[in-house]
Amino acid sequence: MSNILKIICFFTTILMTFFGYSQNIVLESNYIKTVILKPNSTNSYAPILKLGDKLMLSFDDLNADETEYYYKIEHCTYNWNISNLNSSEYIDGFDKDRIRDYENSFNTLQPYTHYQVHFPNEYTRIKISGNYLISVLNEDEEVIFQRKFILFQPKVIVGVYIHKSRDVATIETKQSVEFVINHPNLIFNNASEEIKPVILQNDNWQFSITNLKPQFYRGTQLLYKYDKETSFWAGNEFLYFDSKSIRNSNLHIVKSELGKQLYHTYLYPNEPRVNEPYTLYPDIDGNFIIRTLDGENPNTDADYSWVHFSLKMPKLKNESVYVNGNFNNWKLNATNKLVYNEILQQYEVAILLKQGFYNYEYVTLNKNNQISNHEISGSHYQTENNYTVLVYYKKFGSRYTQVIGVGYGNSEKLTN
């Protein structure tokens, strides 16, 4: 990709910001693909980890020119604004440094350079818990992309319980979260102001629930036994496909063919599931795993193909339709927006993706920037979902917000 295209992409981002596009519509550099920020452990996908544990960032540059990139780490407030702390207050070493570990792809139709960096490392070690923003910059100090991550120190114990909604109108379609914060070793001056929990469903910040205050106090426990205030649309199990063998069709890929430069992977057309009964099948809650049968190292041996999604349904009047998942950082943008084909009566989009196993869903976005994960896919209380409760703590007079505990729950075992 030429430098001219880089410049066009950069100024397009500025224009979108200037004209006030929603925060859900985010345009990133289109030559950067497969950004992964996760704990350096098996079966962990969300960048939420204990202070001191290993965090891994990786991405591919389709320019494949071994460009020098730099990372920059910034401490954030509870609301994800950059905090007023100096970098020396939250980092031992450098808050900005060059990414030294990179390698070119091998035997792929799409050339790329794969970059990887781990934290903590010999140059950067984070000292305090909290919200963090990591930015990747090019040689001209331009931000290429950003990701959020959270470090916590387990100072409290969080018990999480999932149950069906107690509202008769949504008892079949929603799940509610109750949780208890146990703090035997901490004394709060005013827990309702100092403690700020956040609830996530499948580690997706699109539907996060905040601004909760404890309903009851019992000894060294804070009890949050809400129902409506902590209820989520249960949604449906994620759809999936596996492109580890890029040349072959399978259960979810109708055909794969070589185009002028790259392979094209055509998925079987999907249909709305909103009026269909619930069907159980395993998923990985919207995440993805890079893998390939065409080489030994998926980081550099996995190839890219144009994956064609299609959704057969009448055209919606007031909503746009997107393919959603962790592969897109749970963001809705021009890359994953479907376009309606009047002839075939279906929504369509082709996305350039690296070989692997992918979960995805179809969501709608209305004119008020409200996202729905159930208008097309339906919602069933039986759906398996992971829930995470983050406990933020800003002590009276403190200059920053800590993360003092994380609790997990799963809807496979409903408590009612």
pLDDT at 6: 42
Any idea which architecture 31-152 has in CATH?
Sandwich (2.60)
In CATH, what number does 239-372 get?
Answer: 2.60.40
- Give mean pLDDT, residues 131-146: 96
- Report the Cα 333 to chain-centroid distance in Å: 14
Asked if residue 386 has pLDDT above 80, the reply is: yes
Residue-level pLDDT at 88: 96
pLDDT in tens, 6-35: 443 444 443 333 333 333 333 478 899 999
Residue type (1 letter), 64: A
Q: Domain boundaries in the chain?
A: 31-152, 157-234+382-410, 239-372
What is the rounded average pLDDT of the residues 259-269?
A: 96
pLDDT at 413: 82
Query: Average pLDDT of 33-62?
Result: 95
Give pLDDT, residue 20: 34
CA angle, residues 321, 10, 102, in degrees to nearest 5: 95
> Hey, what are 325's tokens?
């998942």
| pLDDT band per the 50, 70, 90 thresholds, residue 1 | very low
Question: 5 pLDDT exceeds 80?
Answer: no
Residue given tokens 């990786």 in the structure block: 58
CATH of domain 157-234+382-410: 2.60.40
Q: Is the pLDDT of residue 175 over 80?
A: yes
Q: What is the pLDDT of residues 70-125, one digit of tens each?
A: 999 999 999 999 999 999 999 999 999 999 999 999 999 999 999 999 999 999 99
- So what's the pLDDT on residue 129? 98
The DSSP call for residue 140 is T
Amino acid 34 reads: T
Q: Do domains 31-152 and 157-234+382-410 have the same CATH topology?
A: yes
Kindly report, residue by residue over 324-379, the tens digit of the pLDDT.
999 999 999 999 999 999 999 999 999 999 999 999 999 999 999 999 999 999 99
CA nearest to 184, candidates 222, 225, 226, 129: 222
Per-residue pLDDT averaged across 23-51, rounded? 83
Whether the per-residue pLDDT at 314 is higher than 90: the answer is yes
pLDDT at 41: 85
Residues 6 or more apart whose CB falls under 8 angstroms from that of 296 comprise none
Q: Which two tokens stand for residue 371?
A: 């996202």
pTM of this structure: 0.91
Share of the chain above pLDDT 90, in %: 89
Average pLDDT, integer, range 390-394: 98
Tokens at 339, concatenated: 């376009």
In the predicted structure, residue 132 carries a pLDDT above the cut 50? yes
Inter-CA distances, 262 with 175, 204, 335, Å: 42, 31, 18
Q: Which amino acid is at 192?
A: S
Question: What pLDDT sits at residue 3?
Answer: 46
- Phi, psi at 310, each rounded to 5°: -145, 140
CA dist., res. 243 & res. 241, Å (int):
7
The count of other CB atoms within 10 Å of the CB of residue 73 is 19
Residue 303 and residue 244: Cα distance in Å, rounded? 9
